[in-house]
Structure 1
């Protein structure tokens, strides 16, 4: 999958007091480039320092075969989590379930490229690279 990055930030889920502000601003800036586009949008997580407790980079991206910034190869297998979009905190709730499963040893993450896929119809999936 070829993606063109629109905006990125480096952050940490637990040590960055400004995480929500950074991510919100990143999406706000990228959304101005996405107006009137009926395409899937991605939140891509990569450059992991360690695991979900370490620093990582998150980017807003769209599919772009001709001008890709990053290419996610199909060499990793992914477990897909469907986000309950009826809840305002659906994405965060899904991530918390992912972290819980990882802590219990039920999810062996590869920490290569993980991504949230936002479909034009409002559906959201989180794809986690697994070993």
Structure 2
């Protein structure tokens, strides 16, 4: 009997060790060890995209939080874009000119932290979402990181 997961959660932080844990869980998902994108028989789940959800913050980005990787369909992105249009979230779209997905992700988060520090945004620290898209799936051939940050 094949089964698939809908989400996987770890408790982590932004330390070097926490970042390593995040990389390990993503490796388990992309390899199929954790059947989020593939079922237990290694069949790819059509129409499913992985999204990171950051929640249950102990304080702010310097503390512990839950990272939940969820399998979403296109309607998720429609709903989150509606939340952006209502002013509940701010959307960040960063791309990497050199093709490194980690660079665009880092740049997106650094932009959030800079705007937070300068007072341009006030984060709610409820649920934030991140969708990274490899270059082979984008129109411009560059990897993108889309952040949806809950704001007050």
Structure 1's consecutive aligned runs of 4 or more residues displaced over 6 angstroms after TM superposition are none
Tell me, yes or no, if the aligned pair for 1:41 and 1:119 is still in contact at 8 Å: no
Number of matched pairs: 117
Structure 1 counterpart SS, 2:95: coil
* Equivalence for 2:88: 77
Assess if the C-alpha contact under 8 Å between 2:10 and 2:67 holds in 1. Answer: yes
Q: How far 1:79 sits from its partner (Å)?
A: 0.4
Instruction: Name the one with the larger helix percent.
Output: 2
**What CA distance in whole angstroms lies between the structure 2 residues aligned with 1:20 and 1:110?**
22
SS in 2 for 1:111: coil
Residue 119 of structure 1 deviates from its aligned partner by 4.9
Higher strand share: 1
Q: Unmatched 5+ residue regions in structure 1?
A: 65-71
Structure 2: unaligned runs, 5 residues or longer = 1-5, 39-43, 74-79, 139-143
TM-score (norm 1): 0.76
CA contact (8 A) 1:45 1:113 kept: yes
Say which structure, 1 or 2, has more relative contact order (CA 8 Å, 6+ apart): 1
Larger deviation, residues 96-105 vs 32-41: 32-41
